[in-house]
Structure 1
Amino acid sequence: MADDHAHHPQDHAHDHTHDERWKHDGVRVIKGDRLDPNTAQTPGMFRQAAINHARVGAQKIWAGTVTIEPNAKTGVHHHGALESVIYVVRGRARMRWGERLEYVAEAEAGDFIFVPPYVPHQEINADPDQPLDCVLVRSDNEAVVVNITDVEPVEKPEAVYWVDPIHRPPE
Structure 2
Amino acid sequence: MSGHDHSDHDHPHDHPHAHSHDEPRWKHDGVRVITGDKLDPNTAQTPGMFRQAAINHARVGAQKIWAGTVSIQPNAKTGVHHHGELESVIYVVRGKARMRWGERLEFVAEAGPGDFTYVPPFVPHQEINANPDEPLECVLVRSDNEAVVVNITDVDPVEAPEAVYWVDPIHKHP
Relative to structure 1, the CA distance from residue 149 to residue 70 in structure 2 (aligned partners, 3 Å threshold; closer, same or farther) is same
Helix, strand or coil at the partner of 2:77? coil
Kindly indicate whether the alpha-carbon contact (under 8 Å) linking 1:94 and 1:105 is maintained by their aligned counterparts in 2: yes
Once residues 104 and 13 of structure 1 are traced to their aligned partners in structure 2, the CA distance between those partners, rounded to angstroms, is 50
Pick the aligned partner of 2:38 from 34, 53, 60: 34
Matched, 1:69 2:65: no
- Percent of aligned pairs with the same residue? 80
Per the alignment, in what secondary structure is the counterpart of residue 22 of structure 1?
helix
TM-score calculated relative to the size of structure 2 = 0.76
Q: How far is the alpha carbon of 1:110 from its aligned partner?
A: 0.2
- Residue 60 of structure 1 aligns with an amino acid whose one-letter code is K
- Structure 1 residue 15: deviation in Å? 2.1
Larger Rg: 1
Q: With structure 1 as the length reference, what TM-score do the two structures score?
A: 0.77
2:116 pairs with 1:96: no
Q: Distance in 1 between matches of 2:149 and 2:136?
A: 21
Contact 2:98–2:108 under 8 Å retained in 1: yes
Aligned pairs, how many? 148
Cα deviation, residue 151, structure 1: 1.4
Corresponding residue for 1:25? Answer: 29
Q: Segments of 4+ in structure 1 off by > 6 A?
A: 8-11
Structure with greater helix percent: 1
Could you list the runs of 5+ residues in structure 2 that have no partner in the other structure? 1-11, 160-174
Once structures 1 and 2 are overlaid, which stretch shifts more, 108-117 or 137-146? 137-146
Unaligned runs of 5+ in 1: 1-7, 156-171
What amino acid is aligned across from residue 31 of structure 2 in structure 1? V
Supply the RMSD in Å over aligned alpha carbons. Answer: 2.3
1:122 maps to 2:123: no
